[in-house]
Structure 1
Amino acid sequence: MNGQFAAALAVGLVALVAAGVGTLGLRRGHTVADFYVASRAVTPSRNAAAIGGEYLSAASFLGVAGLILVYGYDALWYPVGYTVGYLVLLVVVAAPLRRSGAFTLPDFAQIRLGSPSVRRMSSVLVVLIGWLYLVPQLSGAALTLSTQTGAPGWLGGALVCLVVLLSVAAGGMRSITFSQAVLFWLKFTALLVPALVLLTLWRRDGDTVGTGYPTARSDVTVTLASETAVHSPVLGTLDIVGTLDGAAVRGPVTVTVGAHVLGSGTVVVLHPGDVVPVIDRLPARTSAQWLQPLGSGIDHPLYATLSLILAICLGTMGLPHVLVRFYTNPDGREARRTTLIVVVLLSGFYLLPTVFGILGRAFVPDLLLTGQSDATVLLLPERMFPGWPGIALGAVVTAGAFAAFLSTASGLTVSVAGVLAQDFFPQGRKVLRHSRIGAFRVGAVLAVGIPYVLSLFGRNLSLAAVVGLAFAVAASTFCPLLVLGVWWPRLTPAGAVAGLLVGGGLATSAVLVTITLPLPAGWAATLLAQPAAWSVPIAFLVMVVVSLSTSHSIPPGVGRVMARLHLPEAPAGEPGSGERL
């Protein structure tokens, strides 16, 4: 069996399943409530699977394993934080958010504060965070399809956009609820089966990761597409054809300890036992250091780790595509049950990319030379299990990766399209149902089209790192708005606007600088790469101080709104909420 053909077949099957299940919405999506919140009739078990489907993104399926391969112990905070974030969401906002009766996050801001300004600013942030989160999904799709099938880089993202638009335009939230639930179990199985097989092989051979620098286990040929600065951790001889430090080389050449530059098109053939040079933007660490807490090699690791944990745990409650799913539960009690089930599902899932990251350190260390650590999950099966079994397992993980891109992109598209349709398109006071649905479909095209174009020109950053930046922006904006909006009756529109402006401005600026500018090592680069530790407290402080200084503008009827958020509903949920999914 040809590996590229098997991977292409797997991707095609997943795309057909996602499109087929999603188009069920053509016969079930009839009302505006169907498109926005699935008529608020999704059961906890199905909603939890759908949340798992959209939350376990490219960063979870591919990025976490790649980060563990590179950074080791310290990268374990990514899966821990992704899961703990739902506990915070459960305790703080899950049920009140559902009781608000909102369709979107800007709806909640409008209901709680009665301010068009807060609503407009919330809408802009929803779109910004959604696009920031969508770009790595489309980049991951391009990486997967080009790595596994040799397809051109633009095709993977285009395929995801096409399938997502078919599902979302068919029936909105009602359509993708079915699709995301199916895709969650597909990608869970796509990691579980290969992980069990590869762990069995590893234990059978009595293998270990070792304590020294990563070395090749078999002959591996690496071709560098562009000029690459690398660091050689040891003195050694490598088989290089091309240019090294500006000089033409061919065959075995001695490489000294330190920095070197390999020219575009240079071929490096790694033989068993060769210590792998590391691209300069990644740390060169022994496996003994890699296994130690704060041994990742990044600057100021304690601050970076704490800020990362804060961003992920608090950012979860500010992700628009996560929050919109809680509007689909029948009532607040069901929203809490949904969150508990999500925590269980995530806890099981995140064990699997951790396994791939550890095995990747031993079997695909050449990714440290190219910097393409996100390909760990894709390449590991054939590297550990050569022949048709490895090809089959590789096709399975490729299918799972595409399921991750499709399900997450679907949720993001619905959340962004809903906001675009309600807050950015001109409409009168009374809008016909078919007009609102049409606006939603146009919004869906914009929701995926613009991130797709951006993904074609984006830098080659780690998927999980880019998603982590989206979490930082969410934590610095919607987290303070939701926490104070739900629990502090003295929040004013002016305070909310000031906090969103300051928190969003600081975090977004840090994100843009990190993505676009090469920064020298030091505190400045670390603070910008992980801004949550300072941007979140500042956003909270600004909201509180400005609200206290504008206490005369507390919205009328705030007591009634707070009671609505915190008093339990009737167990049956809202009258006329529709059939349960």
Structure 2
Amino acid sequence: MIQNAWSLVLVVVVATLTFLLGYVGSRRANTTPDFLVARRAVPATRNAAAISGEYLSAASFLGVAGLVLKDGIDALWYPIGFTAGYLAMMLFVAAPLRRSGAYTLPDFAEVRLGSLRLRKFCTFFVICIGVLYLVPQLQSAGLTLNTITGLPAWLGGALVTAIVVVNVLGGGMRAITLVQAFQYWGKLFAIAAPAFVLFTLFLGGPGNGAQPVDEDGVLRFHEDVAVTTVDPVRVRVDQAVELSATGEVDGARADGEVYWTPGLYAIGAETELRFTAGSPVPVVEGSPGENVDWLRPQTTGLTGLFETYSLIFATFLGTMGLPHVLVRFYTNPDGRAARRTALHVLYLLGLFYLFPTVLGVISRQYLPQLLVTGKTDAAVLLLPTTMQPNVLGQVLGAIVAAGAFAAFLSTSSGLVVSVAGVVSTDILPGKVRDFRWATVLTGAVAIGLAVLLPRSDVSLTVAMSFALAASTFCPLLLLGIWWRGLTWVGALAGMVVGGGLVIGSQVVTVVSSYTGHWAPSVLSQPALVTVPVAFLAMVMISKLTARRRPEDVNQILLRFHAPDPLGFMRDRDVQRFGTAEEKARLEEGKHRDGPAPSPRH
């Protein structure tokens, strides 16, 4: 109860600071450009902290440690890919994207290729990626609140949605920039401080609560343990084990002693499994059971190798196609500042990802019961009190819980802004009131899906968002910026083919999970196929439709690549982003370096 109280207090503190900083940032937000791109006046260092705060989502704060606990060394490709993607962005995308003068990704597509039809397809994929990324943030918020207090999981998602929507309504991008920069440093402290303390204690000796590993490298429970599943799960048993089960096992009712020989077993939801001290730890299907396999990469042969390279493709190339990340580069004053922002983000992310990796390694010895249910995302939340069931553990657990909520808030804020910005400018007329209506609609849809859809590993769900971004917007950006031969027909074909393959593979995977797990595992990570196919489709169709190439392509690319001091860069003049009166007031406000008057609607 004491830990719950401390956790709730710190969560409330984080929520309050988020609201107050959002209020401070929104006081000078009056026009549509304020809400969409923060008046394009965010310095590189602050923007880098804001991007890092936005980018370090539930997949980073909870999911990376959980995947290291479950999958071992192979899971390290997640933080590597999440970070390395900014290297490609810095080299190929950041500066030309800012020089395009666009406000959103669909706007960039129209700037480059002059097609309203392509713009509408870009709008569709921005919404898909944004919602697909937002749902696991809200579900993880529910997991965190449920873990630390026992309150219903939907309440955590609703709380995050309410705070984010209120902040975004107040000032859009201008309001959340300061919030996200602050939350990066808050999340770094919340993950680094427990990691330092717990790793120091771990080096001093495993102590009570650590699970022994026998001479064969098999992880065993050190005491009697009762585990209750939340969702149906398939577990693999490598060594015969005796246990008690109450619930559903392999489709039949179980209530008493059970003997499992090596093999796979389907466990129903809300099934309680009771293991005695010394029993080997079963693991969810697809995870290594023995420590020697956990420490060795690529133990599943060609299939595992395909999935690893597919993950690298998705994370490395998907970063430069994530709408909520790209929209932040529109807020830099010029292309040089955008490139410097990407460079700063590289070392901010590299520093952060050291700590969840360490916590994931330690969790394997202290929290093997999570390997039975597959809910390894809770490892970071449970590890402090498991290692130190005293005041120190309670304080560290409360700090981690507060950091997790900061992760949900910052990432959700960026996602809501990016989706609402596209909805308001491409579906609605594009005024400030339209942005606010789009914000409310986005929040309502996201929390509804978070409650209705089953929850899976956060990093796996987010990785699918990366795969979709890598198969749609990454080819559009790279070819649109660096190849003059791209046509809107080719770009449209590539996005439809790449995005359609990713969405189709996920539909098949979901259907398979409910009908016997018949789909091949490669469909869960399809980027190694979908990304090259998308690039190939764009190039081939563009060559076949060369007459559709924009007549002013040379002038457009010159604006993208010319150094900033030459003065070719200019902001996109899209009339629906504001009336002439609003623009005049905005420019007047810029010259005075003061707030622009509020527009009339």
Same fold (TM over 0.5): yes
Q: CA deviation at 1:527?
A: 3.1
Corresponding residue for 2:122? 122
Query: What does 1:32-431 correspond to in 2, within 5 Å?
Result: 32-205=32-205, 210=213, 212-225=217-230, 228-238=233-243, 240=245, 246=252, 248-250=254-256, 254-262=259-267, 265-279=270-284, 281-295=285-299, 297=300, 300-425=303-428, 427=429
Paired AA for residue 420 in structure 1: V
Q: CA deviation at 1:55?
A: 0.5
Specify the SS of the correspondent of 1:237: strand
Distance in 2 (alpha carbons) for counterparts of 1:487 and 1:45: 27
Specify the SS of the correspondent of 1:259: strand
Corresponding residue for 2:26? 26
Distance in 2 (alpha carbons) for counterparts of 1:580 and 1:370: 55
Q: CA deviation at 1:505?
A: 1.1
Q: Which of residues 536, 540, 543 is equivalent to 2:538?
A: 543
Specify the SS of the correspondent of 1:300: helix
> In 2 relative to 1, CA 227–306 (structure 1 residues): closer, same or farther, beyond 3 Å?
closer
Q: CA deviation at 1:284?
A: 4.4
Paired AA for residue 237 in structure 2: S
Q: CA deviation at 1:351?
A: 0.7
Specify the SS of the correspondent of 1:221: strand
- Alignment check: 8 A CA contact 1:282 1:371 kept: no
Q: CA deviation at 1:18?
A: 0.9
Q: CA deviation at 1:510?
A: 1.4
Corresponding residue for 2:11? 11
Corresponding residue for 1:463? 458
Distance in 2 (alpha carbons) for counterparts of 1:571 and 1:488: 22
- Alignment check: 8 A CA contact 1:282 1:368 kept: no
- Alignment check: 8 A CA contact 1:144 1:378 kept: yes
Q: Deviations over 1:230-270 (max 9, x none)?
A: 332212333555666646544x6544333345565543344
Distance in 2 (alpha carbons) for counterparts of 1:203 and 1:128: 45
Distance in 2 (alpha carbons) for counterparts of 1:491 and 1:54: 32
Distance in 2 (alpha carbons) for counterparts of 1:358 and 1:571: 51
Specify the SS of the correspondent of 1:400: helix
Distance in 2 (alpha carbons) for counterparts of 1:517 and 1:244: 19
Q: Are residue 475 (structure 1) and residue 470 (structure 2) matched?
A: yes
Q: Are residue 449 (structure 1) and residue 452 (structure 2) matched?
A: no
Specify the SS of the correspondent of 2:239: coil
> In 2 relative to 1, CA 147–261 (structure 1 residues): closer, same or farther, beyond 3 Å?
same
Q: Deviations over 1:168-206 (max 9, x none)?
A: 111000100000011111111000000000000100016
Q: Deviations over 1:433-471 (max 9, x none)?
A: xx7111001111122211211111222311000110111
- Alignment check: 8 A CA contact 2:57 2:137 kept: yes
Specify the SS of the correspondent of 1:222: strand
Specify the SS of the correspondent of 2:219: coil
Paired AA for residue 392 in structure 1: V
> In 2 relative to 1, CA 262–487 (structure 1 residues): closer, same or farther, beyond 3 Å?
closer
Q: Deviations over 1:257-290 (max 9, x none)?
A: 33345565543344543322223x4434201101
Q: TM-score, normalised by structure 2?
A: 0.90
Distance in 2 (alpha carbons) for counterparts of 1:4 and 1:514: 37
> In 2 relative to 1, CA 183–580 (structure 1 residues): closer, same or farther, beyond 3 Å?
farther
Q: CA deviation at 1:521?
A: 6.9
- Alignment check: 8 A CA contact 1:25 1:172 kept: no
Distance in 1 (alpha carbons) for counterparts of 2:331 and 2:106: 16
Specify the SS of the correspondent of 2:236: strand
Q: CA deviation at 1:475?
A: 0.4
> In 2 relative to 1, CA 158–566 (structure 1 residues): closer, same or farther, beyond 3 Å?
same
Paired AA for residue 88 in structure 2: V
Q: CA deviation at 1:3?
A: 2.2
Q: CA deviation at 1:16?
A: 1.0
Q: CA deviation at 1:502?
A: 1.1
Corresponding residue for 2:557? 562
- Alignment check: 8 A CA contact 1:231 1:284 kept: no
Distance in 2 (alpha carbons) for counterparts of 1:274 and 1:535: 43
Identity of aligned residues (%): 48
Q: Deviations over 1:467-489 (max 9, x none)?
A: 10111110000001000100011
Corresponding residue for 1:431? none
Report the aligned-residue RMSD: 2.4
Q: CA deviation at 1:368?
A: 0.9
Distance in 2 (alpha carbons) for counterparts of 1:222 and 1:306: 34
Specify the SS of the correspondent of 2:565: coil
Distance in 2 (alpha carbons) for counterparts of 1:39 and 1:218: 59
> In 2 relative to 1, CA 248–553 (structure 1 residues): closer, same or farther, beyond 3 Å?
closer
User: How many corresponding residue pairs?
Assistant: 569
Structure 2 unmatched runs, 5+: 572-586, 596-601
- Alignment check: 8 A CA contact 1:223 1:265 kept: yes
> In 2 relative to 1, CA 437–268 (structure 1 residues): closer, same or farther, beyond 3 Å?
same
Q: TM-score, normalised by structure 1?
A: 0.93
Corresponding residue for 2:583? none
- Alignment check: 8 A CA contact 2:77 2:312 kept: yes
Q: CA deviation at 1:542?
A: 1.0
Specify the SS of the correspondent of 2:364: helix
Q: CA deviation at 1:515?
A: 3.2
Paired AA for residue 289 in structure 1: D
Q: Deviations over 1:26-67 (max 9, x none)?
A: 312122211000111111111000000110111111111111
Paired AA for residue 160 in structure 1: V
Q: Deviations over 1:375-407 (max 9, x none)?
A: 111111111111121111111111111110110
Distance in 1 (alpha carbons) for counterparts of 2:566 and 2:473: 29
Q: Which of residues 434, 437, 451 is equivalent to 2:432?
A: 437
> In 2 relative to 1, CA 364–23 (structure 1 residues): closer, same or farther, beyond 3 Å?
same
Q: Which of residues 473, 481, 488 is equivalent to 1:486?
A: 481
**Which 10-residue stretch deviates more, 213-222 or 116-125?**
213-222
- Alignment check: 8 A CA contact 2:26 2:174 kept: no
- Alignment check: 8 A CA contact 1:41 1:580 kept: no
Specify the SS of the correspondent of 2:279: coil
- Alignment check: 8 A CA contact 2:34 2:173 kept: yes
Paired AA for residue 368 in structure 1: L
- Alignment check: 8 A CA contact 2:235 2:372 kept: yes
Distance in 1 (alpha carbons) for counterparts of 2:234 and 2:81: 32
